[in-house]
Amino acid sequence: MSDLVIVESPHKAKTVKRYLSGDYEVVASMGHLRDLPKSKLGVDIENDFEPQYINIKDKESLIKEIKKKAKASDHVYLAGDPDREGEAISWHLAQLLGLDMNDKNRVTFNEITKSGIDAGMSNPRTIDLNLVNAQQARRILDRIVGYKLSPFLWRKIRRGLSAGRVQSVAVKMICDRENEIRAFVSQEYWSIDAMFLAEGSKKAFASKVDTVDGAKPDLKSKADADAVLKRLEGAEFIVDKVKKSVRKKNPAAPFTTSTLQQEASRRLGFQGRRTMKAAQELYEGLDIKDMGPTGLITYMRTDSLRISDEARAAAYDFIKEKYGDAYIPEKPRVYKTKGSAQDAHEAIRPTNPAITPELVKASGVTNDQYKLYKLIWERFIASQMANCTMDTMSVDIAANGVMFKATGYSVKFDGFTVLYEESKDEEEEKKNVLPPLAKGDKLTPKEILGNQHFTQPPPRYTEATLVKAFEETGIGRPSTYVTTVTTIINRNYVERDGKQLKPTSLGEVTNELMSEHFDKIVDVKFTANMEKSLDDIESGKIGWVKTLQKFYKEFDSELGTAEKEMEGKRVKVPDEATDEICEVCGKPMVIKIGRFGKFMACSGFPDCKNTKRIVQETGGDCPFCGKRVLLKKSKKGKKYYGCENNPECSFMTWDIPTEEKCPRCGSTLFQKGGKNGILICHKQDCGYQRSLSGESAGSEE
């Protein structure tokens, strides 16, 4: 007989098994084995919100197999992920297997490495019921909101709609931002920008007007700018003041779940789901050259910035060997975790700095796994390196009562920037190199221009900036960010426009109804306070039943009032007008939103029932039959490109059509891979391709 270790996934099971002796058998539960029923509420509200869990239907054979193995084992260890969800999965397993709740059978691994697994197996504990109750409370809260509120939306808007607690707040945030953009009135303003040449210098440097007669100028029109420009005609431009200083730039902290999703979006173009999928795989373990299955990063759902002393020491060893002692900071860096953070785990970091991105890439991992590991590895190593030191210079230039200001810097010591710098949502000013200057120097203006600008509305949220807003306002937790964004898109309340998120007409109508009748549900502060209550349940400060009772009393009252006020009323979702004409009756076609997304329908409905799919042209031609190539979506929502003549023509590809034509056969060229990928011709028997990076792609003429 042997001991049984139960984890969630086969990948994790494979890596854990590698580090345990033959006395252990490791199996995967494939996530939850029990849940609330889909066909009904499944919560006894009158009996202290008792959940009515059932075995998940398609997991009956797996449950039977795990029960059999548990019965044949000396001891069972429950090794779910180290968070609320993992604790709940372990508790459900204990219930199913009839384990003693007082037995120390719960083990957690912050990293899937030999030391991480040894530490976990050496410190078994009882199941933490506070963690379980916090997960149960969230699950029941979301079930009550979803199952009580959804039927109301069916009756008042359209059948098939569903509501979510955190999702409704996210939709409101996106709708509120859209309303801000619509209400924004752009204001004209002007700046006066100059390029100056210092004596003996051939390269001009940039400067702009800072003050006029000692005050900040308010240049609202061309006339205002022209008045200042007139004052500058024939003026002498003299350096009035030079200020030199040394500035130190600190590296960014290692990743939390939120910052990882933001940076992966900005730098790699990854959506949250794609980021977390790759991160989960890195945590659970990959086959690394000469090492076997190895966990590459620490647990990826965390809001902590804490780093262990061992990890810091390992980073220092790598930095010394690779870059030298000068790149080690004078004192160890400690990053302060936000007060609202749970701090249950370390920040996201590589388990072993010596496993470089190059080694991981050489092991044949997927492109996503490599790119994300490289990002995590570089961010962590850089976070433990010395500051970047810069010589900065600020120069005031006087001319007839008008003061220009120029600033610039040069890097004195590159420090952590030799490896990594955090990307930004907004573009930073370009580096302005200033020549040696001293007070009294006379400058020659190369050009002085008045430039017109207009104030811009706040930008729409991207997935990265929305996740950042979740974190700042306290909505959701690291494990919920991706689910929230994915859900509101899948439910057609929000759609992607490039990287931006914008509300659909359905989302706006639903948000208006929710805001009018369920202001608590869509209130940011209320939702953040509820998250705080869940944290308090986890820490044992309050009881989960009491929390649910308080919430339900207010929610049930709101629902009753809304039913009375909306009795006999329905809300119409406005159609989106198009220029297309119905080929059946000649009336305009409109865009509607159904259960499966947007579609085109005749505005003459119900007299004319003509409908058709929305097609998005790409400008490309099919290499098989010459007809249009359209942007399409798979059943799972993944974009691909296919011939409009499908199914008669079978052409489809993930590669992006371009405007460029093949120099051999004249067919549309398709872009494969990212900006450093290749252009490829899909015409049969052509075979032309060309690298976008300038390197040979193998078949270019």
Q: Which sequence positions are flagged as catalytic? A: 299
Strands (E), 470-587: 494-497, 500-503, 576-581
Cβ atoms within 10 A of the Cβ of 639, count? Answer: 11
- How many residues in the chain? 701
Nearest residue to 285 via CA among 480, 20, 638: 20
CB burial of residue 325 (10 Å; 0-12, 13-18, 19+) = exposed
Cβ atoms within 10 A of the Cβ of 565, count? Answer: 10
- Joined together, the tokens standing for residue 29 give 């539960």
- Tokens 């959506």 map to which residue? 271
E strand or H helix at 481: helix 481-490
- Measured between alpha carbons, how far is 332 from 309 in angstroms, rounded to an integer? 9
Nearest residue to 228 via CA among 255, 194, 271, 252: 194
Within 8 A by CB and 6+ apart from 387, the residues are: 248, 249, 250, 251, 329, 413, 415, 416
For the chain, what is the largest distance between any 2 Cα atoms, rounded to a whole number of angstroms? 96
Per DSSP bridges, beta strands 54-55 and 442-454 are: unpaired
- Measured between alpha carbons, how far is 450 from 378 in angstroms, rounded to an integer? 43
E strand or H helix at 205: strand 205-212
What's the CA dihedral at 472, 476, 481, 486 to 10 degrees?
A: -120
- Measured between alpha carbons, how far is 347 from 380 in angstroms, rounded to an integer? 9
